[in-house]
Structure 1
Amino acid sequence: MSKYQDVANYIEGDIIKKKYHCRLPEQVNLAQKYKTSRVTIVHALKILKRKKLIKTVKGHGTYVVSKPIPNFFLNSGVSENIGFTKHYKKAGKLKSNVITFKLRKANDEECKVLNLNNDDQVYDIIRQRILNNQPTKLEYTIMPVKVIPGINLSVLHKSVYSYIENTLGLKIGKNDRIISAEKADAYDMKYLDCTKDDPVLCVQQKAYLQDGRVFEFSRARNRYDRGAMYSSSN
C-alpha cells in the first residue's frame, strides 16, 4: 500500500469518527498532524475525492461530504432497553464487522457525559452490524475502560452487552435516548449500502449500569428497510 493511501486511510478514519464535522484543516496543518509532506496530503485528498468522501470548493477549502453527529441531549427522559443482538439473532444470522477499535484518552465532552477524569481512557469503536449478509446498522460507541474493562476484538465481534452481563457480572440499567430520522450521509452509503435520499433511523444513547454508572455514549444509524427496532420497558 502506498504512503498516499495510508494517509488517506488515516484521514478517512478521522472523518468517519466525526473528528472533522464540516471543513478539513488546511493542507499544511494536515501535513503536520499526519507527520507527512504537503505533497502526500494532496495525493491523499485526491483519493478521498475519488471516493466522494470530500469535495473542494475553490477559494473556500475542502469539505466533508457527510453530516456531523449532533451533540447529545442529556436527560432525555427516555428509559428503555433495546436488545438488538438478542432479538436479531432470533430473526437470522447476525454478525459484526469492526471498522475501527482503539483506546485513547477521553475528550472534554466524553469526560462530562461519562463522569470521567481527564486522564481516563475510553474505547473508541465503530461497528457495522450485518443481518443475513446485509448491512443493517452502523454504531459509533464510546465506553470508559475503567467501567467496562477487557473489551477486545473477540468481544466486539459478538455482543458487548452479553460480555458486560455474563462475563463481568454487571447489571445493565436504564438508557437516555433520542430517536430521530435523517437522510443517509456518505458513511451510510458506504457501510449500509444506502442511496443518497434513503432515510436512516438515528438513535443517540447514554446508557447506565444499575448502580448508576454511565458505561456507554453512542450513536447508531439504522437502515429503514432491514429489520426493526425491538424495545422493552424497564
Structure 2
Amino acid sequence: MNIIGVERKVRLMKSKSDIIAQDIAAKIQHHQFKAGELLPSESQLTTLYGSSRETVRKALNQLTELGLIQKIRGKGSIVLDLEKFSFPISGITSFAELNKSLKMHAVTRVVTLKKMADLPELFKEKFPEQKKQAGIYVERLRLIDDEPAVLDCDYLFSPPIDHLTKKVAEKSIYDYIENELKLDISYATKVITVEKIDEKMQKLLQLDDRLAVLIASENYLSDTTLFQLTLSFHNPSKFKFVDFARRQKIKL
C-alpha cells in the first residue's frame, strides 16, 4: 500500500481531525481497511472517535486529498488501491521515508562520499545550465532483500551543505538537513527518462542489460536556493512510477 507523503504531512497535525486522519491512514497502511472496501460511515466514525460529524468530514477530506480514499455519493468513502513499491513522481520524499512508509526493509550502502571543487562530469552532462560550484558528491546503493534496486547519486552544494558524514548518508541526508541544519526543503523539478548506463553502474545494480530508469532532480529550499542535484538510477524490474492527480476544473 503506497501512502507516500502521509508521514511527513501528519508530523504537523495537531487537531482532532488530524489525529483521526492519521489513525485511519495507519489502518489503511496495515490493511485493516483494505483497498476496494468502504470505510465505516460518517456516523460510525463519529461514534468510534467520539467526535462531531464535521470533525470526521475534515479528516476524510484530508485522506481524499492524500489520495487514500474516494468519496462516492450515496455510498461513502472507498479505500483506493495504491500498490506497494510504487514510487511517487510528484512530491519530495527521501528514500528513508519511502523505506519506512512502504516497509521495504531496504539497506543503504555508501559507495562514494567526497568533497569536490566542481560537479562530476555526468552531472555536467545532465544539468548543463549549472555553473561551477564546490560541493559534496555521494553515491548510495539501495538494496531491497539484499538485491540492488536503486543507485542514488547526489551532489550537495557547499554552501549550504558544508559537511556530511558516512553515518548521515547511510541514514537520511534530508533528516540531517531539516533537523540538524534547520533548513527548509521545499520543492523540486524532475525529469524521468530511460538511460543507457555505464558498466560500473550495471555491475552495481546487477542488471542484465545497461538500461535503467533515471530520475534527474533539482531540489530547492524554501528561499529558492538550489541545494542538491540528484541522479537516481532505478532497476526497472523493482518499481513502477506513479502519480495521483485529481481533476481541477478551470472556468473558460
Pairwise same-fold verdict (TM > 0.5): yes
Contact 1:80 1:231 in 2 (8 A): no
The alignment status of 1:159 with 2:152, answered yes or no, reads: no
The alignment status of 1:126 with 2:139, answered yes or no, reads: yes
For structure 1, the residue ranges without an aligned partner over 5 or more in a row are 1-77
Deviating above 6 A after TM superposition, structure 1's stretches of 4 or more consecutive aligned residues are 230-233
Contact 1:101 1:124 in 2 (8 A): yes
Bigger radius of gyration: 2
Distance in 2, Cα, partners of 1:168 & 1:83: 16
2:92 alignment partner, one of 81, 84, 91: 81
Contact 1:203 1:219 in 2 (8 A): yes
Root mean square deviation, CA, Å: 2.8
**CA deviation vs aligned residue, 1:117-157 (integer Å, no higher than 9, x gap):** x6x53101211111232211012211112212331111111
SS of corresponding position for 2:171: coil
Distance in 1, Cα, partners of 2:154 & 2:129: 16
Distance in 1, Cα, partners of 2:244 & 2:200: 29
Q: TM-score, normalised by structure 2?
A: 0.52
Q: Report deviation, 1:216.
A: 0.6
Q: Report deviation, 1:228.
A: 4.3
2:228 alignment partner, one of 216, 220, 233: 216
Distance in 2, Cα, partners of 1:229 & 1:159: 22
Distance in 1, Cα, partners of 2:243 & 2:98: 9
Equivalent AA in structure 1 for residue 219 of structure 2: A
Contact 2:90 2:243 in 1 (8 A): no
The alignment status of 1:173 with 2:186, answered yes or no, reads: yes
Higher relative contact order (CA 8 A, sep 6+): 1
1:188–1:111 Cα change, 3 Å? closer
Contact 1:83 1:231 in 2 (8 A): no
The alignment status of 1:103 with 2:115, answered yes or no, reads: yes
SS of corresponding position for 1:174: strand
Partner of 1:22: none
Distance in 2, Cα, partners of 1:101 & 1:127: 9
1:111–1:226 Cα change, 3 Å? closer
Q: Report deviation, 1:183.
A: 4.3
- Aligned-pair identity in percent equals 21
Distance in 1, Cα, partners of 2:150 & 2:161: 23
Equivalent AA in structure 2 for residue 122 of structure 1: G
SS of corresponding position for 1:80: coil
Equivalent AA in structure 1 for residue 98 of structure 2: H
Q: TM-score, normalised by structure 1?
A: 0.56
